[in-house]
């Protein structure tokens, strides 16, 4: 209802009509970004992408949605338990305006389907515009997603250029390609570095590293933690 009213009033606002009745009663639909991931672990590339897209598109908030069971990955490798990944994402987003951590997929349980998540967001905010933010590597596999074409009916995809040259999405998909600055790093590379005891200071926040250390994730031990982040022993 509010969205319909806004659609009627928007042209009046654009043409500068001076007497728009009761404009103070009209609320602009929320613009919500949804950035889903395994976040195993979350790194500066994820955070930079979420913040840059939020600013570029004027999104009210970006939900960082931690996958419960990233079904496309969990068959090929062990995934860190969801509770630990959620704690790391909370640590990574702490104090960053406009980023909100969502445990909706963990609470729902089972395989994490973005279609179900967008439907839940729309059930809570029926007038919202939802933008599903993905790296171009992920977008390239869109047609393998559960109910991807129904998802395309209810959300706009925002594709962040990431190492993939040309990407053609199905024509039915409403998408925006964003050339925001990208920090090229991956969770795979981070897991490797952590296991090898290599430096990760430029790729992980201290707060995330503290969770990794406290939970002994990725083979991080006391010896490695002091070497990796330069803590005094
Ligand atoms: P992995 O290396 O384990 O596959 P990942 O680093 O790609 O993990 P995910 O949690 O799988 O991280 O990614 C969540 C989303 O973030 C995906 O849409 C992915 O394309 C995007 N993404 C990952 N790394 C970056 C990055 N450095 N810059 C921008 N987007 C990224």
For every residue of the chain, DSSP letters joined together read: -HHHHHHHHHHHHHTT-S--TTGGG--PPPEEEEEEE--SS--HHHHHHHHHHHHHHT-SEEEEEE-SB-TTTTTTS----HHHHHHHHHHHHTT-TTEEEE-HHHHH-SB--HHHHHHHHHHHSTT-EEEEEEEHHHHTTGGGSTTHHHHHHH-EEEEE--S-S-----TT--EEEE--------HHHHHHHHHHT---TTTS-HHHHHHHHHTTGGG--HHHHHHHH----
Q: How many Å apart are CA 179 and CA 174, to the nearest integer?
A: 17
Among 119, 121, 25, 26, smallest CA distance to 64 is for: 121
Q: How many Å apart are CA 43 and CA 202, to the nearest integer?
A: 9
Q: For the packed helices 44-57 and 82-93, what is the interaxial angle rounded to 10 degrees? A: 60
pLDDT of residue 63: 98
Q: What is the pLDDT of residues 208-224, one digit of tens each?
A: 999 999 999 999 976 44
> What's the average model confidence in pLDDT over 31-59?
97
Q: Is the pLDDT of residue 231 over 70?
A: no
Number of compact structural domains in the chain: 1
Please indicate whether residue 183, judged by its CB atom, sits closer than 6 Å to ligand 1: yes
Give domain status of residue 96, yes or no. yes
Contact 155, 132 (CB under 8 A): yes
Please indicate whether residue 90 or residue 232 has the higher confidence score (pLDDT). 90
Please indicate whether residue 224 or residue 104 has the higher confidence score (pLDDT). 104
Cα 135 to averaged position of ligand 1 atoms, centre (Å): 6
Q: What is the pLDDT of residues 177-197, one digit of tens each?
A: 988 888 989 999 999 999 999
Give domain status of residue 18, yes or no. no
pLDDT of residue 155: 97
Give domain status of residue 2, yes or no. no
Q: How many Å apart are CA 149 and CA 13, to the nearest integer?
A: 34
Among 139, 196, 192, 201, smallest CA distance to 170 is for: 139
- pLDDT bracket for residue 25 (50, 70, 90): low
Give domain status of residue 68, yes or no. yes
Cα 214 to averaged position of ligand 1 atoms, centre (Å): 24
Which of 42, 86, 175, 187 maximizes ligand 1 atoms within 8 Å of its Cβ, making it the mutation to test the pocket?
187
pTM of the model: 0.85
Give domain status of residue 22, yes or no. no
- pLDDT bracket for residue 171 (50, 70, 90): confident
Give domain status of residue 222, yes or no. no
Peptide bond into 41 cis (omega under 30): yes
CATH classification at residue 88:
3.40.50.620
Which of 138, 158, 178 maximizes ligand 1 atoms within 8 Å of its Cβ, making it the mutation to test the pocket?
138
Among 124, 116, 181, 182, smallest CA distance to 155 is for: 116
Give domain status of residue 138, yes or no. yes
Cα 201 to averaged position of ligand 1 atoms, centre (Å): 18
CB atoms inside a 10 Å sphere around CB 8? 10
Please indicate whether residue 162, judged by its CB atom, sits closer than 6 Å to ligand 1: yes
Give domain status of residue 110, yes or no. yes
Which residues make Cβ contacts (< 8 Å) with residue 52, sequence separation at least 6?
178, 180, 181
* Domain of residue 120, residue span: 29-184
């Amino acid at each position: 209802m509010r969205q319909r009213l806004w659609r009627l009033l928007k042209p009046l606002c654009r043409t500068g009509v001076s007497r728009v009745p009761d404009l103070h009663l009209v609320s602009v639909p929320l613009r919500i970004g949804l950035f889903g991931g395994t976040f195993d672990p979350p790194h500066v590339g994820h955070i930079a992408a979420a913040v840059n897209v939020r600013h570029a598109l004027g999104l009210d908030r970006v939900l960082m949605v931690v996958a419960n069971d990233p079904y496309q990955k969990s068959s090929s490798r062990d995934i860190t338990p969801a509770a630990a990944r959620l704690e790391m994402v909370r640590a990574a987003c702490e104090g960053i305006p406009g980023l909100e951590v969502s445990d909706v997929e963990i609470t729902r349980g089972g395989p994490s389907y973005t279609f179900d998540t967008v439907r839940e967001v729309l059930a809570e905010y029926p007038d919202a515009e939802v933008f599903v933010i993905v790296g171009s590597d992920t977008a390239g596999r869109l047609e393998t997603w559960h109910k991807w074409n129904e998802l395309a009916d209810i959300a706009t995809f925002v594709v962040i250029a990431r190492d993939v040259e040309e990407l053609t999405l199905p024509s039915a998909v409403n998408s925006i390609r964003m050339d925001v600055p990208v920090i090229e790093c991956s969770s795979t590379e981070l897991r490797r570095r952590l296991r090898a005891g290599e430096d990760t200071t430029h790729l992980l926040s201290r707060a995330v590293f503290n969770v990794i250390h406290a939970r002994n994730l990725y083979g991080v031990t006391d010896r490695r933690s002091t070497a990796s982040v330069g803590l005094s022993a």
